[in-house]
Amino acid sequence: MTSSPSGSSLGPKERLLLGVVAAVLAFAVLWLRGGLHPAAPLERLARQSPDLQVALTNGKPTLVEFYADWCEACRSMAPAMETLESQRRGQLNLVLLNVDNPRWQPELDRYAVNGIPQLELFNAKGDNVGRSIGARTSAELQAIGQALLADAPIPALPGVGKVSQLDEDPLQSSPSASLSASQVGPRSHG
């Protein structure tokens, strides 16, 4: 038996077997990590959504969804969102922002996201005209999308309402409005 200077050499059968084992292992790893499955609707929507600033300034109404990959309600709503996006492509911006991505922390704070899915609704001028908290059916999403496109009032649905902006801090402007230390804010869940 001859051996090479680096130790033992493999014959053609051993090299073929090693190549087949390596290919099977690579396939198994990809399959287990979801690499061979088509992307889920949430992933597809998030990947193709425009940048938020572009969406708010391009003259089209915008629907922004704050979501998480682990959120069952977000995942169950995703096919209806995908349908809305495909039917209204070029007319309505659909932007998805993952709450687990630290990049979106300023937006989470700005829009007071404290539950998901949360939809922020903007008219064609980029003005925030409403908010929806909780899962929406396909019919509800279609109605919201239609209202945004028509610049009409947002449908009166449970968990949907107008957004108001405070010009000043009510705690600073009115001495009678002071809160006790035992009262907590809406995001504290305390």
* Active site members: 71, 74
Give bridge partners of residue 97 from the DSSP assignment.
66
> Rounded to the nearest 5°, which phi and psi values hold at 29?
-65, -45
- Find out whether 155 and 140 touch, Cβ atoms under 8 Å: yes
DSSP 98: E
3-state helix vs strand vs coil in the chain, percent to 5: 40, 15, 45
- Find out whether 46 and 77 touch, Cβ atoms under 8 Å: no
Lookup: tokens for 131? 């908010």
H helix and E strand count, the chain? 7, 5
